[in-house]
Amino acid sequence: MGMVAMEKGAVVSRTYKDTLFRRLFGDERNKINALSLYNALGGSCDNPNELTFTTIEGVIYMGRKNDVSFLVDGELILWEHQSTVNPNMPLRGLIHLAQLYNKYLDLYGLSEYSSRRLALPSPHYYVFYAGPAEVEDRFELRLSQSFTHDASDSCAEMVATVINVNEGHSREILGACEALAGYAHFVALARAYAHTHSRSEAVDLAVRQCMREGVLVDFFAENRAEVIDLFLTEWDEEKYRDLLRREAEEDGYAAGEAEGRKEGRNEGRNEVRSEFLNKAVSQVREGRLTAGDAAGIFGFTQQEILSLLEG
């Protein structure tokens, strides 16, 4: 079957907030980057026109169905970018894969009820980790690791291959994909500058240094302001998600703690929650996000954000 657009002529609404990773590897204008990374992972394709992005509709930033997915050479490729190690990525991948296969059937007018065996593109699922924690260069997460009973006779499995793309790791893959190496270098610079500068200054300095060093020059020249905005929003998401994880961990021990200590902890949480709610409202006021998108990004209800906007 020839590769054709999954939306079959439809205009895909880009109301979601992009990530820097998606912009580098999931944008039609940067298809050559996706092809380079695909080949670095073991693929063999010379023509970027043979690669067709598959976008799921109705995606917002935090609720995105997948960062990058495409069809190429009889394969269905799913890529996710993560700044934290998430053991539930195989479950996310399974959900994404089912949605993409459903779209594939619709696209070609196929039915799962057919008496003939359907020819389907084989799936490959990679998670690219670029967070601060030290993890090995490559490892697998399996859906069966989450099963509550013995999985030896399970009818389902989903494997997420996690690749550590921080500088100094996965040298063979980064060496074979210039765009991924540039991305890793930029992230490392931004995090280093953030130790002594504000986050916005850190990202701007990282962009400037990359351009001086000849790293992703064309990309940064065309997208500089947007890159800064995208990366700052990613940091906001990462920080807030870390807060939610810490809360969940602390709540597990809360029952055995003194009431006064618990009240102090709750007061601190409320202060941080208020900070992020104000940040979400600010993003909407400045026109960077819709109220719905901001609610998804920062973990509030849309009504909470609208109430502050109207107040």
Per DSSP, the residues of 29-60 read: GGHHHHHHHHHHTT-----GGG-EE---SS--
Boundary residue ending a domain (251, 280, 297): 251
Residues 187 and 277 in one domain: no
Band (296; pLDDT cuts 50, 70, 90):
low
200 inside domain: yes
268 and 307 in a single domain? The answer is yes
Q: How confident is the model at residue 239 (pLDDT cuts 50, 70, 90)?
A: low
288 and 308 share one domain: yes
d(CA 31, CA 26): 7
Same domain, 188 and 258: no
262 & 224 share domain:
no
Same domain, 186 and 141: yes
pLDDT computed for residue 246 by the predictor: 52
Band of residue 288 on the pLDDT scale cut at 50, 70, 90? low
Number of independent structural domains in the chain: 2
Domain boundary (251, 271, 296) is at 251
Q: Are residues 63 and 171 in the same domain?
A: yes
DSSP secondary structure letter of residue 11: P
The verdict on residue 9 lying in a domain is no
Residue-wise pLDDT for 2-45, tens only, equals 333 343 333 222 333 457 888 899 989 999 999 999 999 999 99
Q: How high is the pLDDT of residue 36?
A: 97
What's the whole-model pTM score? 0.71
Task: Record the tokens describing residue 208, joined without a space.
Answer: 């400037």
- The reply to whether 13 falls in a domain is no
Q: What is the mean pLDDT of residues 276-283?
A: 76
Average pLDDT score over residue span 276-300: 71
The reply to whether 14 falls in a domain is no
Judge whether 5 lies within some domain: no
Query: Quick one: pLDDT band at residue 196, thresholds 50, 70, 90?
Result: very high
More confident residue, 114 or 149: 114
Domain of residue 302 covers: 252-311
Task: Say if residue 276's pLDDT is above 50.
Answer: yes
Q: Tell me: do 38 and 77 sit in the same domain.
A: yes
Query: In terms of domains, do 246 and 259 share one?
Result: no
- Residue 28 CA to residue 283 CA, distance in Å, equals 27
User: What proportion of the chain, given as a percentage, has pLDDT over 70?
Assistant: 72
One domain, residues 77 and 108: yes
Same domain, 137 and 93: yes
Which residues are CB-neighbours of 216 under 8 A, at least 6 positions away? 24, 179, 182, 183, 186, 210
Q: 114 with 170, same domain?
A: yes
pLDDT in tens, 55-81: 675 443 334 445 899 999 999 999 998
Which of the two residues, 284 and 46, has the higher pLDDT score? 46
Answer whether residue 15 is part of any domain. Answer: no
Q: Cα–Cα distance between 192 and 132 in angstroms, integer?
A: 11
In a domain, 10, yes or no: no
103 Cβ contact list (under 8 Å, min separation 6): 6, 54, 56
